[in-house]
Amino acid sequence: MENEKNNLPDNNSRRTFIKNTALASAGFFIVPRHVLGRGFLAPSDRLTIAGIGAGGKGESDLANFFKSGKADIAFLCDVDDKRAATSVKNFPKAKYYKDWREMLDKESKNFDAVSVSTPDHNHAIATLAAMQLGKHVYVQKPLTHDIYEARALTEAAKKYKVVTQMGNQGASADGTRIMREWYDANLIGDVHTIYAWTDRPVWPQGIQWPATKAEVPSTLDWNLWLGTAPYKDFVEKLVPFNWRGWWDYGTGALGDMGCHLLEVAFRVLDLKYASDVQASVGSVYVDEFKRGYFPESCPPSSHVTLTFPKTAKTKGPVTVHWMDGGIQPERPLELGANEVFGDGGNGTLFIGTKGKMMCGTYS
């Protein structure tokens, strides 16, 4: 018995044993990344994502998140089962909802970030709700339906300390950065004028709201689709694409393409807020003698002139011309007869004191 007693560790050595054992055990879970091998992603570095809007652009966004190898798609939400079908097939383990409010309410503890890809008018409310839960957000362009909403989300991102990004393909590529390098190297001198143009809309604008209501498809929850917008009867050819031409839901050609084509102007010259804005819009003819006026619908074409104050990157104010509906600026004399202006239907042209530079839709 005496020998057995002497073989038992004393209290100090027991504490040492337990401490060393705990440290050794912890070592199996917390190790330097290089020990795990190249390409290994620790579970703590993977994002669990919920998608609000699983069809259209939301479908490709969710697929790309997953392909990155850094995200799991755990929840899907869409008001239209038909539009969501491909994402549901791609992510069979993801739980599916129709109402994003129900999804956030029931599943908020089970995901890290939210992808928002709905029609423009519902971007802000879904995004803000996710931020208030402390969720990081990726929101398709345009960020919001109006300026007030954009400012509200900016403040919310600071308040809730979340990571945010607006989906804007060109901003993630090298084109914008290359053009900034050219400008900073003084290759074209001081830029004083910029033209940005698009062939959009490629959907109807400048038209009257259809007089005849249509039957709502069985796969679509029309009330949820309307979301923050005033109630109207469902009409044909509005969903899933042509809503862009109506102010209640979309932001017209400027909201659809301006995020791409004007991004490079802001990034290269560090533009802030416009000091002056003027706009002229095209009109349509109801018949041979009568012009139509349809304020619910975005104009068929427009030319908007914005004046921006001097920045640290310019010697004076900068005039930015936005043109849509097929309107284009004067073709530069330096451009050869067989050279494409922008990328054909879209482009951005910088005019400096020493020269010009140009890019297409995504810079």
Same domain, 117 and 189: no
117 CB contacts (<8 Å, ≥6 apart)?
51, 52, 53, 54, 56, 57, 58, 61, 139, 140, 167
Instruction: Indicate whether 319 belongs to any domain.
Output: yes
The sheet with strand 47-52 has its strands ordered as 95-97, 71-77, 47-52, 113-116, 136-140, 164-167
Same domain, 322 and 341: yes
pLDDT of amino acid 42? 60
Instruction: Indicate whether 19 belongs to any domain.
Output: yes
Same domain, 188 and 254: yes
What CATH number has the domain bearing residue 331?
3.30.360.10
What CATH number has the domain bearing residue 87?
3.40.50.720
pLDDT mean over 230-235: 98
Contact 328, 344 (CB under 8 A): no
Q: How far is CA 314 from the centre of its chain?
A: 28
Same domain, 199 and 327: yes
Instruction: Indicate whether 50 belongs to any domain.
Output: yes
Instruction: Indicate whether 225 belongs to any domain.
Output: no
Same domain, 163 and 72: yes
The total domain count for the chain is 3
Instruction: Indicate whether 329 belongs to any domain.
Output: yes
User: Residue 29 above 60 pLDDT?
Assistant: no
Banded model confidence at residue 23, pLDDT cuts 50, 70, 90: very low
Same domain, 16 and 97: no
pLDDT 10s digits, 139-176: 999 999 999 999 999 999 999 999 999 999 878 889 99
User: Residue 11 above 70 pLDDT?
Assistant: no
Token pair belonging to 15: 């504490």
At 98 the three-state DSSP class reads: coil
Instruction: Indicate whether 227 belongs to any domain.
Output: no
Q: What is the mean pLDDT of the chain?
A: 90
pLDDT mean over 312-327: 97
Rounded CA-CA distance 306/313 in Å is: 17
User: Residue 22 above 80 pLDDT?
Assistant: no
Same domain, 185 and 304: yes
Percent of the chain with pLDDT over 90: 83
User: Residue 17 above 90 pLDDT?
Assistant: no
User: Residue 21 above 60 pLDDT?
Assistant: no
User: Residue 200 above 70 pLDDT?
Assistant: yes
Residue span of the structural domain in which 6 resides: 2-36
Instruction: Indicate whether 309 belongs to any domain.
Output: yes
pLDDT of amino acid 194? 98
Same domain, 8 and 62: no
The pTM of this model reads 0.85
pLDDT of amino acid 26? 40
